[in-house]
Amino acid sequence: MRKKIDIETNQELAQFTIERSADSIIWHDCAANIKRVNEAACKLLGYPREELLGLTIQDINPSSNKKTWAKFWNRLRKDKVVQFEDSNLQKDGTTILTEVTANFIEFEGQEFAVGFSRDISERKRNEEERACALREIEKLKTELERWKDVAQKQGVDIKTKLALTDNISHWVIDYVKENKIDLLIVDYPKLSMEEITLFDDIINVIHHKSHCHLLTTKSS
């Protein structure tokens, strides 16, 4: 009797943990029919539980079809655990990016998959914005190198590769405006106090005329 009570308690605890999990959990069979879901899955996809249980994986995954499903299932049966990134379609038509871990299980002679997933749309946006910013910085550095060469040919003394002088500030302003640069990184060279004052004036002119944010660094 005691053993039976312990088993029932453990089952209730497992069910409670699954329902309260922050990750979406979806059970489906080998034919892609959704058999069971937790509360997080309903919230993630925007469906009532009863409606979600009447759908297939193809209904919530726009990239899944009969051909890709057969390939996925064969891989899952072989590897037992498969991790991947995919897109899911919410009830309102919104597409979100998800990180999925699918597990293959056999229960009472039937094959199932349990998929744990979480929304990574915001993380992906942040990564893309960061990558875009880094590309713009590298592009700007290349342009500044070109301006440096031009300035040196005109007899202007450039002390560091990112140093800006009065002679080329207008090129920076034009470039920032044309390419809609939001952030300009400027490396201060080693200068005398008088030169630093002049340099600050130039940077302020660029800042006000180009209307972009400035991040300044100083060489040690």
The count of other CB atoms within 10 Å of the CB of residue 81 is 9
The 10s digit of each residue's pLDDT in 150-181 is 656 655 554 443 444 555 566 777 777 777 77
Instruction: Identify the structural domains of the chain with CATH numbers, from first to last.
Output: 2-119 (3.30.450.20), 124-218 (no CATH)
Predicted model pTM: 0.58
The mean of the pLDDT values for the chain is: 79
pLDDT of residue 49: 94
pLDDT of residue 41: 95
pLDDT of residue 137: 67
The 10s digit of each residue's pLDDT in 11-64 is 666 676 777 788 999 999 999 999 999 999 999 999 999 999 999 999 999 889
What secondary structure does DSSP assign to 3-36, as a single string?
A: HHHHHHHHHHHHHHHHHH-SSEEEEEETT-BEEE
pLDDT of residue 33: 96
pLDDT at 75 > cutoff 50? yes
For residue 172, give every residue at least 6 positions away whose Cβ sits within 8 Å of its Cβ, in sequence order, or none. 144, 147, 164, 184, 206, 210
pLDDT of residue 46: 96
87-114 average pLDDT score: 93
